[in-house]
Amino acid sequence: MHINVIGAGLAGCEAAWQIAQRGIDVRLYEMKPMKKSPAHKSNLFAELVCSNSFKAARVNSAAGLLKEEMRHLGSLLLKAADYASVPAGGALAVDRELFSEYVTDAVNSNKYITVISGEITDIPEDAITVIATGPLTSDSFAENIYKHFGNAMSFYDAAAPIVTFDSIDMEHAFFESRYGKGEGTDYLNCPMNKEEYEVFYEALVNAERAPVHEFDVRDPKVYEGCMPIEVMAQRGHDTIRFGPMKPVGLTDPKTGHRPWAVLQLRKENASGTMFNLVGFQTNLKFPEQKRVFGLIPALKNAEFVRYGVMHRNTFLNSPQVLTSSFNTKENSNIFFAGQITGVEGYMESASSGIMAGINAARLLLNKDTVVLPPTTMIGCLSRYVSDETVVDFQPMGANFGIIPELERRPRDKQERGQAYADRALGDLDKYLESVRL
């Protein structure tokens, strides 16, 4: 007896790991290296296509609580993240190469997991199957999903550029985290005065964008959580100055004042030789990226090791398709996991892989599938993607808005977050004691 897992991304690796931890054989299908999506470059598993950040680390934040719940469930990816972490202020960020190497090695060395290279075009019927092909599901397999379940949607996701540290003009940049958080060297700030910002803004909104043509366009939408900087800028002259380029909490040591606007750069690897442009996901043509971003004084001679790209992101109308256990209403032997389910974010995707893997294993072992308590972040996300009352279903990331309100709600935001976390982790521990997952 075995369970199939299709896709060795974040969710697929977590699902395969959870199944294997229960002594069940896994056949993990991955089309790389034989075939890659337009956004994937590495042959490694759990490749990070967009940012290298897993968001806030502190447990009293929504993202931090999600990760702590995953730790309680034995997450493979958080072990990898701890191993490959790089300084990022209050966030958990990783050297993406080290991160993917750790996951790949762990999966390949697990005696219960057999990796099978090659593209899957049909949903297997030989065993319980977890589909974790992600937002970049291949066209042929996506067509098969559409035939089986229909009501799929797609939108476009964008990735930020990466530059070399040596090419940054440090005469126009300084290390500092907002409000002095972190070590003070976690973020490299590229300040701009008002005149410099005006020139940059005009160039940005008028720059030439790359055509979106090679992907299947059924219902293209730009998702708010990863909006291209040029699209955001068109919403208003100061939109990005109050968004990814906000200068609050920072002081330019050259002037002693807060800059008019700031681009923050974050370490891309542990050695600090590469930095990514935080919040600068883009679909500008490559020469335009070099020209326009080069108008930021610190980046006037920047060497780009990766330009920003835009790619398709496909997800199911999950409330019509999935149960809160991540298997389908039509066929309980078929599970989905990852961003294809409509969870948004690296760790959100991985957490759905954990739950899909646990429930696939339980189904094989003739046990009831489970959903974590509604006070937990993972439990709330599981319920959100299966909530039939949701009419216009859109991807959802971890946030306290989907968690039931506290009986006594602290006015202070940090205290309120801690109260949510204390309740969630307490309820999770009690649940894990009562149910052997």
Q: What is the per-residue pLDDT across 4-24, written as a single tens digit (0 to 9) for each?
A: 999 999 999 999 999 999 999
The pLDDT value given to residue 218: 43
Task: Judge whether residue 213 has pLDDT over 70.
Answer: no
Looking at the 3D structure of the chain, how many domains does it have? 2
Q: Residue 225: what pLDDT? A: 60
Q: What is the mean pLDDT of the chain?
A: 91
Taking only the tens place, the pLDDT of each residue in 364-382 is 999 999 999 999 999 999 9
Residue 164: pLDDT over 60 = yes
| 414-416-418-423 Cα dihedral, nearest 10 degrees | -170
Shared domain check, 145 and 51? yes
Give the tens place of pLDDT for each residue, 101-135: 999 999 999 999 999 999 999 998 889 999 999 88
Domain end among 278, 311, 344: 311
Are 121 and 177 contained in the same domain?
Answer: no
Residues 170, 298, single domain; the answer is yes
CATH code, 341: 3.50.50.60
Task: Report if pTM > 0.75.
Answer: yes
pLDDT attached to residue 215: 43
| Residue 401, Cβ density class (10 Å: 0-12 exposed, 13-18 middle, ≥19 buried) | exposed
Q: Establish if 97 belongs to a structural domain.
A: yes
Q: Among 314-318, 320-324, 339-343, 361-365, where is mean pLDDT lowest? A: 314-318
Judgement on whether residues 296 and 420 belong to the same structural domain of the protein: no
Q: Which of 145-159, 161-175, 414-428 has the lowest mean pLDDT?
A: 145-159
Q: Which residue has the higher pLDDT, 270 or 328?
A: 328
Same domain flag for 145 and 267: no
**Does residue 295 sit in the same domain as residue 170?**
yes
Q: Quick one: 131 and 214 in the same domain?
A: no
Instruction: Please report the pLDDT score of residue 38 as a whole number.
Output: 65
pLDDT beyond 50 at 220: no
d(CA 168, CA 149): 49
State the Cα–Cα distance between residues 291 and 318, nearest whole angstrom.
41
> Do 19 and 106 lie in a common domain?
yes
CA atoms of 265 and 162, how far apart (whole Å): 9
Residue 32 has pLDDT above 80, yes or no: yes
Which structural domain range is residue 167 located in? 162-311
Residue 184 has pLDDT above 80, yes or no: no
Element (H, E) at 53: strand 53-56
Same domain, residue pair 252 and 305: yes
Residue 425 lies in a domain: yes
Residue 179: is its pLDDT beyond 90?
A: no
Can you say how many angstroms the Cα of residue 169 is from the centroid of all Cα atoms in its chain? Answer: 30
Question: Which pLDDT value is given to residue 431?
Answer: 98
Convert the pLDDT of each residue in 296-311 to its tens digit. 999 999 999 889 987 6
Assess whether 177 and 297 both reside in one domain: yes
The phi, psi pair for 408, rounded to 5°, reads -120, 110
Strand-pairing partners, residue 182, are none
% of the chain surpassing 70 pLDDT: 93
Residue 157: inside a domain: no
